[in-house]
Amino acid sequence: MSDKINSLYARKASGGVPISEEKIANKYFNVLKAVSETSLGCVYIADLKTRKLEFISENPLLFSGLSSAEVEKMGYNFFRKYTKKEDLEILRKVSSNGLKFFECLSPEEKKVHTITYDFHVKYANSVDVLVNHKITPIEICDQGEISKVVCIVSYSLSRTAGNIRIISNSSETYWTYNLFTGKWTEESKITLKIREIEIIRLYLQGLTIEEIAEQLFVSPSTIKFHRSKLFERIGVKNIIEAISYVISNNLI
């Protein structure tokens, strides 16, 4: 767990008695469990040194139908066994080239950057499930290396596997990794216009074009105009892809 959380909970508890490391971990895990239970996703903590999964919130649908206890027992072997064969290279690139990217960052910078990627998880008696993993370092050892990470698992909003990126809310740029060339490319984040944000938010509420136009006191053709301009700017073909892009890139 992060140094910040360690120091927060390790301070004197009631009566001035220090909290044990086990109690600190339990408090930390309970918070993650509560967060994951209020979303469609899942959370796990991985120790990069021991290659073990220390905590996994319950969501069998994102882990090939297995319980969190079963996945935790398997550790990294779960991904070797249940990742679609064609996508194993994606995980290898994330493990090697992705983590190497973090070597260029300071300890504090490491903790505010996230690597995100998509891959297929094999699911018994059903089609493979395309999932998204967002990994953020939470513990840095004395040598400056990442020792533990937290991962947010969710259903992917993309159509294909891959999509390896390094993102940070503290930066106006992000980095994308090309699986074919093996190179990182820096790109500028797109800033949505106020009207575009309003339209996307209303779409997320399930409103039709006519209903959105009524809410914004404009004509449906005006909504279509703004929508088409947004599609052009972010390189998508329809509103589903636009919503996926906006959410994946934390634009609203």
Q: Say what percent of the chain tops pLDDT 70.
A: 84
The pLDDT value given to residue 21 = 55
* Per-position b or e across 136-145, b if 16+ CB within 10 A of its CB: bbbbbeeeeb
Tokens of 190: 């797109």
Give me the DSSP letters along 72-126. Answer: HHHTTHHHHHHB-GGGHHHHHHIIIIIHHHHTTS-HHHHTT-EEEEEEEE--TTS
The pLDDT value given to residue 2 = 40
Residue 7 has pLDDT above 50, yes or no: no
Mean pLDDT for the chain overall: 82
Instruction: Pick the range with the lowest mean pLDDT from 34-48, 61-75, 90-104, 205-219.
Output: 34-48
Tokens of 61: 């649908």
Question: Based on the number of CB atoms within 10 Å of its own CB, is 216 exposed (0-12), middle (13-18) or buried (19 or more)?
Answer: middle
Taking Cα atoms as reference points, which of 71, 29, 25, 32 lies closest to residue 52? Answer: 71
Place of tokens 């997320």: 204
Q: Confidence band (pLDDT; 50, 70, 90) for 19?
A: low
What is the rounded average pLDDT of the residues 56-67? Answer: 84
Residue 109 has pLDDT above 90, yes or no: no
Residue 224 has pLDDT above 90, yes or no: yes
Q: Confidence band (pLDDT; 50, 70, 90) for 245?
A: confident
Query: Is 205 in a helix, a strand, or coil?
Result: coil
Over residues 114-163, the pLDDT tens digits come to: 999 999 999 877 789 999 999 999 888 878 889 889 898 988 888 899 99
Over residues 172-196, the pLDDT tens digits come to: 888 999 999 989 999 888 888 999 9
Q: Give backbone dihedrals phi and psi of 126, rounded to 5 degrees, phi first.
A: -155, 175
Tokens of 91: 């995980």
The pLDDT value given to residue 99 = 80
The pLDDT value given to residue 165 = 92
pTM: 0.76
The pLDDT value given to residue 40 = 54
